[in-house]
Chain A
Amino acid sequence: GAVVSQHPSWVICKSGTSVKIECRSLDFQATTMFWYRQFPKQSLMLMATSNEGSKATYEQGVEKDKFLINHASLTLSTLTVTSAHPEDSSFYICSARDLGIFNEKLFFGSGTQLSVL
């Protein structure tokens, strides 16, 4: 099956620093990747849709300058949380859509727990 690798699994950083999270599709090409944010005991909130070779599409209420998304290749998307603050602490999960026969479902990374001190 399709595998999505997400790194790091967890990160602790100081307030004001930037953190980059990588999401890679290991055995398939993904023109579209999705970034979600999940608060404890809550659902996944779609933050943005990452499109290879073009600008990401952000959901309403998500700050583009705070959460920078780059999708430079068919297998890699990155989310950078800029000038992180404690309220940015959360569980971030990426997912990718396979262009092949499984193109209707999502494959997820294992998530990144971000803690901003």
Chain B
Amino acid sequence: SQQGEEDPQALSIQEGENATMNCSYKTSINNLQWYRQNSGRGLVHLILIRSNEREKHSGRLRVTLDTSKKSSSLLITASRAADTASYFCATDPSGNKFYFGSGTKLNVKP
């Protein structure tokens, strides 16, 4: 990818379990964002964390950021079948362009 890697590439869990996906990026950032993509559709913004923040919560989502390691993680708690989608992290190194990671495909089995 243009920006970095995410792992795992694919994750399959049971409904009710937690899902954790990780993102690594290459350059310094202003903020890091996570997006969700349902199959064959556009992306939807989930959460934004700024470079001076270490952790952020939004509903069942928890995002952490470690700028020293250039990495971030997204935790979805108590997953639901409707959470099945691909998840991407995105950064804007220059403040004007957004680059996306390779994505994690999450499958939540009912």
Q: Does B33 contact A (CB under 8 A)?
A: yes
- Rounded to whole Å, the gap between the CB of A10 and the closest CB of chain B is 9
B69 interface residue per 8 A CB criterion: no
A67-75, A81-89, A104-112: which lies at the B interface? A104-112
Option from A42, A91, A108 in Cβ contact (under 8 Å) with B102: A42
Interface size of A in residues (CB-CB distance below 8 Å) = 25
> B31 to A95, Cβ gap below 8 A?
no
Q: Is A4 an interface residue (CB 8 A)?
A: yes
State whether A111 and B40 are in contact (beta carbons under 8 Å apart), knowing that A43-B1, A46-B2 are contacts in the complex: yes
Main secondary structure of the interface of A (DSSP, over half): strand
Chain B 83-109 per-residue mask, 1 if CB under 8 angstroms from chain A, else 0: 000001010000011111111010000
Give bound CA distance, A90 to B86, whole Å.
18
Chain B: residues with Cβ within 8 Å of the partner, total of: 23
CB contact between B98 and one of A42, A46, A109, A110 (< 8 Å): that residue? A46
Which A residues lie within 8 Å of B100 (CB)? Answer: 36, 43-44, 46
> Complex: how many Å from CA A43 to CA B23?
13
User: Is B44 an interface residue, CB under 8 A from the partner?
Assistant: yes
Contact (Cβ within 8 A) A105 B44: no
Please indicate which of the listed interface residues A4, A91, A104 has the most CB atoms of chain B within 10 Å of its own CB.
Answer: A104
Residue of A34, A43, A46 with most partner-chain B CB within 10 A: A43
Assess whether B33 is in contact with A105, with CB atoms less than 8 Å apart.
yes
Chain B residue contacts of A46, Cβ below 8 A: 2, 97-100
* Interface membership of A32, Cβ < 8 A: yes
Say whether B78 faces chain A, with CB atoms less than 8 Å apart.
no
A30 in contact (CB, < 8 A): no
Q: Using a CB–CB distance below 8 Å, which chain B residues touch chain A?
A: 1-2, 31, 33, 35, 40-45, 48, 88, 90, 96-103, 105
